[in-house]
Structure 1
Amino acid sequence: MSESVEREEYRPSGTDLAPKLRDQEVGRTVVSARIPLSRADLVAYAGASGDHNPIHWNERFAREVGLDDVIAHGMLSMGSVLARITEWAVDPGAIIDCRTRFTAPVVVADADSGAPDTPTAYLDMAAVVGAIDEEAGAVRLDISVSCGEDTVLGRTQAKVRLA
């Protein structure tokens, strides 16, 4: 004999604080941030990702292959941007799709002080609601990301499910 079990609807943690689909408007900026990057960030990311390519830590090697200086890992840049989107959405599982093109390197120069944890590069990002998909319960965010005068991530979008 089977019992009928009433189940509580799954609600991710922080849902009460999360943005609501009904409150979104196309064209509205929902996230704007300046993300600092330092040489210490590159080392930490290399350790976490296993990407120890010398263009990310060796100035001489980076210059020998035609770069101005060491550069940030592309996925470090993208991950840093998506972390800000996750903070806005409150739920880390809310991002259901993302895409980008790596359009320019993010040069992370040595700090004048010599301190590796001093930021020397900054990603400026803004996420704007580009479309609302009522059926999917999600918004498409169109994200611009630059470092100085250079667009470093192009055609960047994230699809975010909202309650």
Structure 2
Amino acid sequence: MVTLTRDVTVGTVLPPLTVEPISRTTLALFAGASGDHNPIHIDLDVAHAAGLDDVFAHGMLSMAYLARLLTCWVPQERIRSCQARFVAITPVHAVPTCTARVTAIDDGVVTLELAVTLADGTVTLTGDATVALD
């Protein structure tokens, strides 16, 4: 794994970001910070009424973790785009790991393949980003 942008080649893998287990407190704090108070993320009764065993994390929380992975690598102003597709839910108590791999380099801009994966191997989010090297 490489952390310096001058050493980047196609196939370079950024150091992964593994976050603490998603707690109910994390969900409540993210709801407040983001303004997303959808009760499916914080109210166990609502989750049960929807046929779920428990609440689950906001998809945008995983996006925020991916952004943190990128900004641990480069300054924020170098990020040109970041998009994702939510492919599975992140249950409460899950431990997400964010990863990024360089798939292309064109005129000083790298394209990265992004993913968030849980400890059991479930991929919850996929996406891509473009980042200026300088």
TM-score, normalised by the number of residues in structure 2: 0.89
Deviation readout 1:23-78 (Å, 9 max, x if unpaired): 21111111312122221111111111111111111112112112231111110111
Q: Tell me: CA distance 1:57–1:161, structure 2 relative to 1, closer, same or farther (3 Å).
A: same
Q: 8 Å contact 2:69–2:98 — kept in the other structure?
A: no
Q: Which residue of 2 aligns with 1:8?
A: none
Q: Does 1:151 align with 2:111?
A: no
**Structure with greater helix percent:** 2
Q: Which runs of 4+ in 1 moved over 6 A?
A: none
1:47 alignment partner, one of 22, 25, 32: 32
State the alpha-carbon separation in 2 of the partners of residues 160 and 19 from structure 1. Answer: 13
State the alpha-carbon separation in 1 of the partners of residues 53 and 124 from structure 2. Answer: 15
Q: 8 Å contact 1:133–1:139 — kept in the other structure?
A: yes
In the TM superposition, residue 133 of structure 1 has moved relative to its aligned partner by 1.2
Unaligned 5+ residue runs, structure 2?
none
Q: Which residue of 2 aligns with 1:127?
A: 100
Q: 8 Å contact 1:19–1:162 — kept in the other structure?
A: no
Deviation readout 1:94-139 (Å, 9 max, x if unpaired): 111011110111110xxxxxxxxxxx221122211111112xx211
In the TM superposition, residue 19 of structure 1 has moved relative to its aligned partner by 3.2
State the alpha-carbon separation in 2 of the partners of residues 150 and 78 from structure 1. Answer: 16
Q: How does 1:8-157 map to 2 (within 5 A)?
A: 19-20=4-5, 22-36=6-20, 37-89=22-74, 91-108=75-92, 120-134=93-107, 137-147=108-118, 148-154=120-126, 156-157=127-128
What is the SS of the residue equivalent to 1:55?
Answer: helix
TM-score, normalised by the number of residues in structure 1: 0.74
Code of the aligned partner of 1:151? V
What is the SS of the residue equivalent to 1:28?
Answer: coil
Code of the aligned partner of 1:141? L
Q: 8 Å contact 2:100–2:114 — kept in the other structure?
A: yes
Q: 8 Å contact 1:71–1:107 — kept in the other structure?
A: yes
